[in-house]
């Protein structure tokens, strides 16, 4: 793995000559939009105990507390705007014959930037799921109260059952269909771009191994080293919102 001191032209060539691209993003991709990451010094898990706010046990113990945390996160997301990194990733979709963006993020900034060839593997902050009938509902337009109390917790429009945020919590399984799709694309890609993830959770998904096994070049965009950096052929130690548009601008003017 070369570190961030590498020949820029080699990196641009890797982007320009790729055919099948697999992008894997984490909370760092939304940092420049003003949304917090989880494990950095000012991260969410420093403010909220994940065992209280991101487990089914925590939800059952105090659903009002958990729903109000997710309500405040919805308000944060609503006020955030996609940054140049999100926008660049959306622009990249049509350049390649095969492209999939897999995000761990539950915000909607990739979608609002225009990304369509994407899957969310940790759920969606704008969805709720019924604990009775498992129905999934978009809550973006729900006129939720400023603050939930037990009596006003969201109920299923189908069956009236209790609902929970449609987020994958610790100790829970990912959607098998989504994971299969992501793993397939990781195993056929010739370029994997890892953006803004510590790899603390995703390391178990093996996407980088699958990409490596297929001989893919791996580029990581992250100001700090993480658990996936060891797989990177190129480590761009810069914020994604700056690095992605800069790189992409050079790719678009690349002379084959």
Q: Between 31 and 71, name the residue whose CB sits nearer to ligand APR.
A: 31
Alpha carbon 207 to chain centroid, angstroms? 14
Tell me which of 86, 110, 122, 185 is the catalytic residue. Answer: 122
Residue the block writes with tokens 């269909």: 177
Part of the chain binding ligand APR (CB under 6 A), chosen from 69-77, 134-142, 210-218, 221-229: 221-229
d(CA 123, CA 166): 6
Part of the chain binding ligand APR (CB under 6 A), chosen from 66-74, 128-136, 205-213, 234-242: 234-242
Tokens found for residue 143: 């006129």
Q: Is 108 helix (H, G, I), strand (E, B) or coil?
A: coil
Q: By CB under 6 A, how many residues form the interface with ligand APR?
A: 25
Counting every residue written for the chain, the total comes to: 256
Which of 224, 253, 255, 256 forms a contact with ligand APR (CB under 6 A)?
224
| 158 secondary structure, DSSP code | T
Concerning whether 61 is annotated as a catalytic residue, the answer is no
What string of DSSP letters covers 183-250? HHHHHH-SEEEEES---TTGGGG-HHHHHHHTT-EEEEE-SS--TTGGG-SEEE-S-HHHHHHHHHHH
Q: Is 164 one of the binding residues for ligand APR (CB under 6 A)?
A: no
Is 215 in contact with 190 (CB distance < 8 Å)?
Answer: yes
Part of the chain binding ligand APR (CB under 6 A), chosen from 31-39, 110-118, 146-154, 247-255: 31-39
Q: Is 222 one of the binding residues for ligand APR (CB under 6 A)?
A: yes
- For residue 21, the cross-strand partners are 99, 191
Q: Is 131 one of the binding residues for ligand APR (CB under 6 A)?
A: no
Which of 82, 84, 154, 226 forms a contact with ligand APR (CB under 6 A)?
226
What is the per-residue binding string for ligand APR in 52-91, x denoting contact by CB under 6 A?
A: ----------------------------------------
Q: Please report, as ranges, the residues that interact with ligand APR according to CB under 6 A.
A: 26-28, 31-32, 37-40, 43, 104, 122, 196-198, 200-201, 221-224, 226, 239-241
């Amino acid at each position: 793995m070369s570190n961030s001191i590498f020949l820029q032209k080699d990196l641009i060539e890797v982007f320009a000559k790729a055919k099948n691209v697999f992008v894997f993003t984490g909370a760092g991709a939304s940092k420049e939009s003003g949304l917090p990451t989880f494990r950095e010094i000012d991260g969410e898990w420093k403010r909220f105990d994940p065992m209280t706010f991101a487990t089914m046990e925590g939800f059952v113990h105090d659903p009002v507390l958990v729903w109000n945390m997710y309500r405040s996160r919805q308000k944060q997301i609503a006020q955030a705007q996609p940054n140049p990194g999100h926008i660049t990733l959306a622009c990249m979709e049509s350049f390649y014959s095969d492209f999939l963006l897999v995000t761990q993020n539950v915000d909607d900034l990739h979608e609002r930037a225009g990304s369509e060839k994407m899957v969310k593997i940790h759920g969606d902050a704008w969805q709720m799921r019924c604990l009775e009938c498992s129905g999934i509902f978009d809550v973006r337009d729900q006129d939720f109260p400023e603050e939930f109390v037990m009596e006003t917790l969201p109920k299923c429009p189908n069956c009236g059952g209790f609902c929970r945020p449609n987020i994958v919590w610790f100790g829970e399984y990912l959607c098998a269909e989504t994971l299969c799709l992501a793993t397939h694309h990781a195993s056929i890609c010739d370029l994997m771009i890892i953006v803004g993830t510590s790899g603390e959770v995703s390391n178990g998904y093996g996407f980088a191994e699958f990409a490596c096994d297929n001989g893919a070049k791996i580029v990581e965009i992250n100001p700090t080293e993480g658990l996936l950096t060891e797989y990177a052929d190129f480590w761009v130690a810069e914020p994604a919102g700056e690095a992605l548009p800069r790189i992409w601008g050079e790719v678009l003017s690349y002379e084959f």
